[in-house]
Amino acid sequence: MGEFQFAEDRNPSPASRPSTPKNAPFSSSRPTTPLNETTSHQEIFNTPSHPLHPSHPITTPQQFYDWFAIVEKTISHSQESHFRNHLETVEEHLARCEGMRDRVTQILDSVQAMICDWKNVEEGAESLQAACERLLEERVSAASARNSISFSSDKRRTASSKLKMKYLCAWNTMRNLNTRLEC
């Protein structure tokens, strides 16, 4: 039996689909959009009215996916913009709070240093007061000892003076007697 072949099978053509023209600039299986009489094809494709409109017609699925990714990114960016603004505001507040926390920590450290210095001064003042009180007590006791020594001294002088007076009186009396006896 012989093989049955179509003419296309015997002479394969390079085009995958016979209805597609080989060198068509914008080949598509659907008809193009009709243009107004005042709008040219060049004006539509060269001057996009919106940044998301493609600058040239989309002809391949990859071009469509690229364009769609740009559109999705733009949409998500616009939807997230108020969240980003809020995040920036929160970060500013956080930075201020951290600055205030650092300042409060510095002030707390300064206050603790002042309290430590105050305690040292207070301890020094208490030590000085105790030393002054001891000195005052020593002074009082020294003055008391001096007065007591002075009083004893005065007593001795008085006793010594009285003794001298008695001695002198006795001497004078003896001399008077002696002179009378000699005469």
Model pTM? Answer: 0.37
SS3 25: coil
Q: Which residue has the higher pLDDT, 104 or 4?
A: 104
pLDDT digits (tens, 9 = 90+) for 31-90: 555 545 555 544 555 555 666 777 778 889 998 888 888 888 888 777 788 888 899 999
CA angle centred on 117, ends 112 and 129, rounded to 5°? 140
pLDDT at 6: 45
Whole-number Å distance between alpha carbons of 35 and 39 = 6
Which structure tokens are listed for 41?
Answer: 């094809």
Question: Among 21-35, 40-54, 126-140, which range has the highest average pLDDT?
Answer: 126-140
Return mean pLDDT, the chain.
76
- Asked if residues 35 and 41 have their Cβ atoms less than 8 Å apart, the reply is yes
Whole-number Å distance between alpha carbons of 88 and 86 = 5
Whole-number Å distance between alpha carbons of 150 and 152 = 5
